[in-house]
Structure 1
């Protein structure tokens, strides 16, 4: 009887809640990061820069690069080094990045990839293979002090960071420059879509290698899980379509948003349980949502607005918190950063240009493709975060890779504008321009 009473008392004990001070600090962290990310994002947009630049700078200002140097006492109070406290921010950021990747996947036009298949495939494969190979080679040459874990996994992670492109950044740049209707704009989007798919596949495989070690059996096991995920995505497409149609019959967009979020979270949980990256599951969920054809784009507007205005800026600000720009004062780290940036830019330009020339495109078209595909933005930030979380990247290399993401995203629009001014607009592009309702000004005059 006593044993039963003791078990009952143990069973009804209340679950411990977050401490009052911990909650206060967490709320102040969220408010401070979001406010500063919003203000700096708007400031960046005012100067014609991607908003992600300002949002990352919010974390840089509040992190070890600035605030910790200027007011260490206040910095330790607002952003204590207690792992449990920082995990609260991490959890919020993870939800944001999963939904951001889902929305990115849901905006991928797979029919566009099929229509421009062979040309886009040549450009994409060359555009990812050359910087990937250069990045892997550099990873094996860097000093041991910059490699925190197993060198093969580190080298592959660096290669992936060099090879990826960022579809959201590129799409916005093409829209801002009135290049979305141009053949090069369409080809760039197609090639980047293929790049994204290959990048997520490689990221999941390398993440599995980083956690289990580089063993042939484990690598084969990871590839097997990737195949399972892709098969399940095809088999579950009718069920996803049925769920989205049922949600669409409910008043408003609330039911549809809930279904999309549930699909994203469960898909992320599934791939995470398989030893793959959670973001890969979110990306596959977004692609399936788009492919099933049961979702009208306006239905995602409320979710997209909340993610873009709140969750994504918080995520990018937390990314900036982990950057320590003071490390660049160390000459070896600075030289490494310049080398990584050079290889990232040259490798992507060379790959895209080679693919374009092999497809019969002209010199200026090849350079325009290289400029567009060089923008790494969001995707490289996510790759860097994954590498840091897994211990594959140290703070020095993490900071360098984030800087590459920022610099390549900043340089893409002006180079695109300059190169496309040399490419004459075709009659087909004129028709597409009128069909899309784009202002009739030439890109060179925009």
Structure 2
């Protein structure tokens, strides 16, 4: 293995991290690239094995990918002597894995937006808002309740005492988030994206997370910087609405003209894939700059992307991008687990985790299910919406 020269067995336990960092600093750039490439190979192999296992258990591939990250991380592989996780996946190089995974994630979210069937939600825009607002409201409230129980044990972070309002607000927002990328992956893999339940859940989750990120910006200024949170909230909302208007009234017609020029004569230009991918990345940058997660920019670009000529675009654009996401997207879900250490919780931590999970699950499940039922869905569909809105993932880690 490319790490053999590091001789980890001779590094004292108490100084392993500092020594590894020093050694990694001395490794030349070509070897760093080789280590990252080897790490990607490990990720893909382990991920593929666990995906096959979970398919036998009738679980979607994304569950296997997330589990693979936990297996490769400190929760399992890290329990072995010699810091195997740190040896295979040096902390200094994990950022490179994350950046590579983001490419796959953004391309995937573009495809989700492109395939999104808005006709399934025709005359149901009110249901989307009701489900989203209800789920946020109850989950946020229960999150504040959980904060009241946990604050005394977590009121000091990095040596600084934080206010209850700050702690409660962040926990409430974390409870309110639905993991949009994970939900999109689940819906795509199970075929639910083409159903009324899946379309409602995806649209509600998108609205849910946009509001949560906007609220986060407001909370950060109010409690963190002590500035004018109201003006920040208005700024983020104003910029986001401007972004939406530009996408609908400027980008969409421009894309129609561009696609028409690139698919003339029944053949597609070789520039089609790179130009569309570039547009998705720039849209992701725009929403990130505004203060809303980059995945919404890629998703929105897919929403305004022309669908015709369907057969030609499916062959010349959709298939290449889908192949790229199948290769890169597993890295995103697996890398997430590398930073999760379940064993470090202890019995007290497990009890606190149970409190947080109850608040998160009950808040989303009850509120989203009742709201979906009130919109005219039957109880089975409503319960499914509540379950789907409970999808969690990396977004909550980003919040914290």
Normalising to structure 2: TM-score of the pair? 0.77
User: Residue 126 of structure 1 is aligned with which of 130, 134, 140?
Assistant: 134
Q: 1:116 to 1:158 in 2, by over 3 A?
A: same
Relative to 1, partners in 2 of residues 1:39 and 1:254: Cα closer, same or farther, differing over 3 Å?
farther
- Residue 291 of structure 2 corresponds to residue 279 of structure 1: no
Question: Structure 2 vs 1, CA of residues 122 and 108 (structure 1 numbering), >3 Å: closer, same or farther?
Answer: same
Whether the aligned pair in 2 keeps the contact of 1:98 and 1:282 (CA below 8 Å) is yes
Q: Does 1:300 align with 2:300?
A: no
1:137-196 per-residue CA deviation (whole Å, 9 max, x = no partner) reads: 434553365575742551343132269782442454465xxx96xxxx52x124213312
In 2, the alpha carbon distance for the partners of 1:254 and 1:144 equals 60
Taking the aligned partners of 1:119 and 1:211, their CA distance within structure 2 comes to 30
1:112-151 aligned at under 5 Å gives the runs 112-119=120-127, 121-139=129-147, 141-143=149-151, 146=154, 148=157, 150-151=166-167
Q: Does 1:20 align with 2:33?
A: no
CA deviations 1:388-417 (Å, max 9, x no partner) are xxxxx2xxxxxxxxxxxxxxxxxxxxxxxx
- C-alpha distance in 2, partners of 1:281/1:381? 19
Counterpart in 2 of 1:100? 108
1:248 and 1:157, CA in 2 relative to 1: closer, same or farther beyond 3 A? farther
1 CA distance for matches of 2:388 and 2:376?
A: 23
How much has 1:200 moved relative to structure 2? Answer: 3.4
Q: CA deviation at 1:311?
A: 1.1
How far did residue 61 of structure 1 move? 1.7
Can you list the C-alpha shifts for 1:219-252, whole angstroms capped at 9, x where unaligned?
2221121112111111221012222222333845
Name the CA distance, whole Å, in 1 between partners of 2:148 and 2:261: 52
Q: Distance in 2 between matches of 1:227 and 1:18?
A: 46
Q: How far 1:317 moved relative to its partner?
A: 0.7
Whether the 8 Å CA contact 2:286–2:297 is kept in 1: the answer is: yes
| Corresponding position of 2:86 | 76
Q: Given the alignment, which residue of 313, 329, 337 partners 1:320?
A: 337
Of residues 374, 378, 396 in structure 2, which corresponds to 1:384? 396
Match of 2:12 in 1: none
* The one of 179, 188, 203 aligned to 1:194: 203
Shift of 1:293: 4.0
Contact 2:366 2:386 survives alignment (8 Å): no
1:35 to 45, 57, 73: 45
* Conservation of the 8 A alpha-carbon contact between 2:175 and 2:360: no
Give CA-to-partner distance per residue, 1:325-380, whole Å, 9 cap, x none.
1123x22321222222223332233223322443455xxx3244223431358x63
Quote the residue 1:5 is aligned against: none
Between the aligned partners of 2:56 and 2:338, the Cα distance in structure 1 is: 23
Secondary structure class of the residue paired with 1:143 = helix
CA contact (8 A) 1:233 1:288 kept: yes
| Cα distance in 1, alignment partners of residues 50 and 330 from structure 2 | 10
Relative to structure 1, the CA distance from residue 197 to residue 76 in structure 2 (aligned partners, 3 Å threshold; closer, same or farther) is: closer
Structure 2 equivalent of residue 332 of structure 1: 348
Q: Which residue of 1 aligns with 2:16?
A: none
Matches within 5 A, 1:344-423: 344-359=360-375, 361=377, 365-375=378-388, 380-387=392-399, 393=400
Contact 1:62 1:75 in 2 (8 A): yes
Alignment: residue pair count: 354
